[in-house]
């Protein structure tokens, strides 16, 4: 396969909006390695985040390289150009070796009838009874079913091919990891749809290593999964079975695995995910972004004094701009505004109260998911504070770093990749 850079079984996408927590994040991978699990660190930042914060993709590469050097990390690590498209990928090219090609916008756009017909003619194996090891009931599909599925996804696949080839050409001899994401769509992709999508991607000769479908249920930012856990578990298992089948059937890279976007903080599905991975000896890429920024706020609040003041100040500003902050994230947050404390109430809190409301500890009675979700989307406010925010990160580095590492290791890597 051309432009193929191998990716390990377990990999963890770590977002770091302000680029100060690279070492604290890498420390979580070191702790996992000490416990016997190789978790490949991947630093990801989307074009949208770069725009919001005013950063350049080179800063993510610099941060990753610096963390790796400082902690003497000898194993692989990567820098992910997250959710890129043809219009946005170019400035990532010199700095990234992992590309998340986002084709969600083309899902559901009707493809050319002739191309759909040609695809189904080429793939008679997708029509009829498809028995897949690990799935109890074989899929039953008619030609019309397959045509409908292909009609919905073929344009997205063609888009992905175009973007992949653009990157491959620009990277010249350098290898990279290719992910295709379609998670930011309206409806989830079913396992039979995933199979068709993989067949089409294989036709396009993309050396795909991770794929991010939209799963059933809600993956809200920074809080737990909301949806039918049983149904999620069944679909996740079926997706793994489909991937194992497609790897053989369509000669996709043997390391191909699922990527779970908005994967942080989904504590109630980590058990089902872990069991499914074990069952299929499969790997997974867990992509997280904002959970680390919230640990910065928790660390600041825990530090007390000027740190706590700054955290309260950010919350008060967020409350003033709640509509603007929430609008771009309407489909990935569920904030109950009646549960948001007023600025006056929050200003009266001590460190312990602020931290208890914000830290994602579902067993804690004071944990407030609405408060947490509003602050999750409020990183723009911190960006506006400029040096006041960045200086506070440096001043309170120790307490923040401890929270960042513990959050990733204890609450994420351990249940997903270590403990059974
Ligand atoms: Zn995503």
User: The tokens 């992992």 sit on which residue?
Assistant: 98
Kindly tell me if the per-residue pLDDT of 51 is higher than 60: yes
Q: Which two tokens stand for residue 404?
A: 């960042």
Question: Looking at residue 329, what DSSP letter applies?
Answer: G
Ligand 1 geometric centre to CA of 46 (Å) = 9
| Per-residue pLDDT, 186 | 85
Long-range contacts of 72-76 (CB under 8 A, 24+ apart): 73/26, 73/29, 73/30, 73/41, 75/33, 75/38, 75/40, 76/7, 76/8, 76/40
Same domain as 122, residue 255: yes
Ligand 1 geometric centre to CA of 403 (Å) = 24
Does some domain include residue 415?
no
Same domain as 254, residue 237: yes
* Mean of pLDDT values over 253-262: 97
Q: Is 284 exposed, middle or buried (0-12, 13-18, 19+ CB in 10 A)?
A: buried
% of the chain residues with pLDDT over 70: 99
CA angle 303, 374, 232 (to 5 degrees): 110
Residue 126 lies in domain: 10-289
Ligand 1 geometric centre to CA of 383 (Å) = 22
Q: How far is the C-alpha of 182 from the C-alpha of 303, rounded, in Å?
A: 40
Kindly tell me if the per-residue pLDDT of 420 is higher than 60: no
Same domain as 114, residue 190: yes
| Per-residue pLDDT, 289 | 87
Ligand 1 geometric centre to CA of 201 (Å) = 19
Q: Which two tokens stand for residue 230?
A: 């049983």
Ligand 1 geometric centre to CA of 51 (Å) = 16
Same domain as 145, residue 16: yes
Ligand 1 geometric centre to CA of 179 (Å) = 11
Confidence of residue 419 (pLDDT cuts 50, 70, 90): low
Kindly tell me if the per-residue pLDDT of 263 is higher than 90: yes
Ligand 1 geometric centre to CA of 79 (Å) = 15
* Beta-strand relationship, 139-141 and 128-130: antiparallel
Same domain as 191, residue 218: yes
Does some domain include residue 306?
yes
Ligand 1 geometric centre to CA of 85 (Å) = 13
Does some domain include residue 1?
no
Residue at which a domain ends, from 261, 289, 317: 289
* Mean of pLDDT values over 400-404: 98
Residue at which a domain ends, from 236, 258, 289: 289
Ligand 1 geometric centre to CA of 287 (Å) = 8
Number of H-type helices and E-type strands within the chain: 17, 10
| Per-residue pLDDT, 1 | 54
Q: Which residue has the higher pLDDT, 179 or 54?
A: 179
Within 13 Å, how many C-alpha atoms sit on residue 25's CB side? 32
Does some domain include residue 414?
no
Same domain as 368, residue 304: yes
Ligand 1 geometric centre to CA of 104 (Å) = 9
Same domain as 250, residue 143: yes
Same domain as 268, residue 348: no
Same domain as 300, residue 265: no
Same domain as 43, residue 192: yes
Ligand 1 geometric centre to CA of 262 (Å) = 6
Ligand 1 geometric centre to CA of 100 (Å) = 9
Q: How far is the C-alpha of 160 from the C-alpha of 377, rounded, in Å?
A: 29
Residue at which a domain ends, from 273, 289, 305: 289
Contact 154, 201 (CB under 8 A): no
Does some domain include residue 413?
no
Confidence of residue 161 (pLDDT cuts 50, 70, 90): very high
| Per-residue pLDDT, 254 | 95
Q: How far is the C-alpha of 359 from the C-alpha of 371, rounded, in Å?
A: 10
| Per-residue pLDDT, 325 | 95
Pick from 380, 406, 186: which is nearest to 295 by CA? 406
Ligand 1 geometric centre to CA of 332 (Å) = 11
pTM score, two decimals?
Answer: 0.96
DSSP H or E run through 383: helix 379-385
| Per-residue pLDDT, 331 | 85
Helices 369-376 + 305-320 axis angle, to 10: 90
* Mean of pLDDT values over 190-200: 97
Does some domain include residue 351?
yes
Does some domain include residue 419?
no
The length of the chain is 420
| Per-residue pLDDT, 343 | 98
Confidence of residue 185 (pLDDT cuts 50, 70, 90): confident
Same domain as 142, residue 54: yes
How big, in percent rounded to 5, are the helix, strand and coil portions of the chain? Answer: 55, 15, 30
Mean of pLDDT over the chain? 96
Instruction: Report pLDDT digits (tens) over 28-39.
Output: 999 999 999 999
Ligand 1 geometric centre to CA of 212 (Å) = 7
Question: Considering all CA atoms of the chain, what is the largest pairwise distance in Å, rounded to the nearest integer?
Answer: 69
% of the chain residues with pLDDT over 90: 95
Say which CATH number the domain at 165 has: 3.20.20
Does some domain include residue 273?
yes
Contact 380, 2 (CB under 8 A): no
Number of domains observed in the structure of the chain: 2
Q: Which residue has the higher pLDDT, 295 or 184?
A: 295
Q: How far is the C-alpha of 4 from the C-alpha of 2, rounded, in Å?
A: 5
Ligand 1 geometric centre to CA of 406 (Å) = 24
Same domain as 15, residue 34: yes
Q: Is 337 exposed, middle or buried (0-12, 13-18, 19+ CB in 10 A)?
A: exposed
Ligand 1 geometric centre to CA of 83 (Å) = 7
Instruction: Report pLDDT digits (tens) over 308-322.
Output: 999 999 999 999 999
* Mean of pLDDT values over 17-24: 97
Q: How far is the C-alpha of 289 from the C-alpha of 25, rounded, in Å?
A: 12
| Per-residue pLDDT, 405 | 98
């Amino acid at each position: 396969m051309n432009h193929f850079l191998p990716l390990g079984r377990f990999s963890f996408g770590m977002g770091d909006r302000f680029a100060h927590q690279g070492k604290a994040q890498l420390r979580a991978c070191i702790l996992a390695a000490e416990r016997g699990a190789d978790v490949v660190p991947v630093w990801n930042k989307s074009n949208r985040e770069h725009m919001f914060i005013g950063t350049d993709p080179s800063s993510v590469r610099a941060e990753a390289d610096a963390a790796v050097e400082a902690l003497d990390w000898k194993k692989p690590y990567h820098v992910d150009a997250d959710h890129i498209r043809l219009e946005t990928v170019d400035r990532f090219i010199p700095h990234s070796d992992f590309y998340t090609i986002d084709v969600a916008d083309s899902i559901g756009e009707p493809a050319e009838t002739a191309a759909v017909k040609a695809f189904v003619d080429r793939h008679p194996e997708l029509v009829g009874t498809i028995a897949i090891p690990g799935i109890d009931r074989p899929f039953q599909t008619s030609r019309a079913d397959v045509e409908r599925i292909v009609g919905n996804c073929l344009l997205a696949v063609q888009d992905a091919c175009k973007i992949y080839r653009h990157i491959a050409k620009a990277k010249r001899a350098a290898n990279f990891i290719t992910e295709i994401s379609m998670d930011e769509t309206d409806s989830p992709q079913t396992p039979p749809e995933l199979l068709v999508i993989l067949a089409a991607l294989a036709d396009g000769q993309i050396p795909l290593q991770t794929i991010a479908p939209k799963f059933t249920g809600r993956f809200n930012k920074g809080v737990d999964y909301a949806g039918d856990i049983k149904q999620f578990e069944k679909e996740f298992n079926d997706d793994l079975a489909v991937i194992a089948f497609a790897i053989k059937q369509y000669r996709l890279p043997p390391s191909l695995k699922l990527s779970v976007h908005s994967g942080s903080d989904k504590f109630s599905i980590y058990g089902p995910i872990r069991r499914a991975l074990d069952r299929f000896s499969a790997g997974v890429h867990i992509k997280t972004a904002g959970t680390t920024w919230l640990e910065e706020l928790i660390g600041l609040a825990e530090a007390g004094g000027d740190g706590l003041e700054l955290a309260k100040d950010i919350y008060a500003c967020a409350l003033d701009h709640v509509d603007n902050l929430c609008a771009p994230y309407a489909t990935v947050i569920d904030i109950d505004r009646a549960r948001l404390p007023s600025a006056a109430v929050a200003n009266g809190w001590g460190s312990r109260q602020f931290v208890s409301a914000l830290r994602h500890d579902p067993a804690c009675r004071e944990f407030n998911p609405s408060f947490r979700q509003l602050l999750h989307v409020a990183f723009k406010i911190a960006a506006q504070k400029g040096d006041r925010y960045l200086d506070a990160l440096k001043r309170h580095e120790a307490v923040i770093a401890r929270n960042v590492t513990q959050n990733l290791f204890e609450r994420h890597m351990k249940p997903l990749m270590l403990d059974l």
